[in-house]
Structure 1
Amino acid sequence: MSGVLIGELILWLIVAIIVIVVAVYIVNWLYHRSSKEVSFVRTGFMGERVVINGGAFVMPFIHDYTPVNMNVLPMGITRAKQDAVITRDRMRVDVEADFYVRVQPTREAVSIAAATLGRRTLEPEKLHALLMHLLHRHLGGDR
C-alpha cells in the first residue's frame, strides 16, 4: 500500500467518525423519551402525538413539547377564619381537606392534562395555586 492510499483511508475514517458523532448528537438532541413519571404531548407538524411509554422526535421549530407529570401530587387545602366556607343557613365552617391528584395513564387523559394544565403538572406549587384560585371562585368570593 502506498502512503497516499493510507492517507486517504485515514481521512475517510476520520470523516466517518465525525459524521457518526454528529448524527448521534443530533438524534440525542431531537429524540425525547417518556418515563413512568413523565409523559409528554407533541403537537405541531403531523398533529398531536401523546407519548406515555416510549419516545418521539421533537423538532424545535416544527413541534411543541408539553411534559405531563404522572405522579400522585398531594394538595392540602385549608379554608378558615375569613376564608371559611359559609353554608346555606349562614353558618361559617372551617374546612381542611387533602386531595391527591394524578393523571390517568391514558392518551386522552394525558392530552387533556397537557391542554388544560400545561407545564404546571411539573410544578406542584403552581398547580396548588391554581386549585386554590378555582376553589376560592367556586366556594367563596367571586360569585
Structure 2
Amino acid sequence: MNDERQATVRLVDELGASGKVRQIFDDIKATKGIDRVPALWRALATAPDELELVWTSLKARMHPEAVGRESNLDAKTREIIALAVSATNGCSYCVNSHTAALRKQGVDQETLGEIMGIVSLFNSTNALAEGYQVEPDVFPPLD
C-alpha cells in the first residue's frame, strides 16, 4: 500500500486478511464477480463484526439470489436505486461503485444521464414540496 491516504483508517490488506475477514473478502469477490476487494470493504474490515453486519445486509438486498431469496426487483433496478440514493447523499465513492456496476450490466452513458436527470428532478420537486409544506393529497391504495 502506498503512503497516500485512502481513508481515516488504515485499510486492511486483502492478501494479509485472515479468519472471518478472509472469509468475507472471499465471499465479496465471489458474489460480486470481482477480482479484488474494494476499499470500502477493506476499511470496514478494521471492525470485523461491522464488516460482517454490513456485508450480510448488502448481500441479502443487492444479491438476493446468493442467499437463496427472490427479489421483486431485478439487479439493474436495485443498482439504479443505489445510484440514485448515493447521488442524493453526495457519496462519490458509492456513485462510482454503482455506476461501474450499471456499466457492467450494459447501461450506457445516455441512460446514466437519464437516471441522473430523474434524480435531479425529484430532489428538486421534493425540496419544493417540503419548502412549501404541501400536505399529501394523493395516496396509494391500502391492500
* TM value normalised by structure 2: 0.24
* TM value normalised by structure 1: 0.24
Structure with bigger strand share is 1
Structure with bigger helix share is 2
Q: Which has the larger radius of gyration?
A: 1
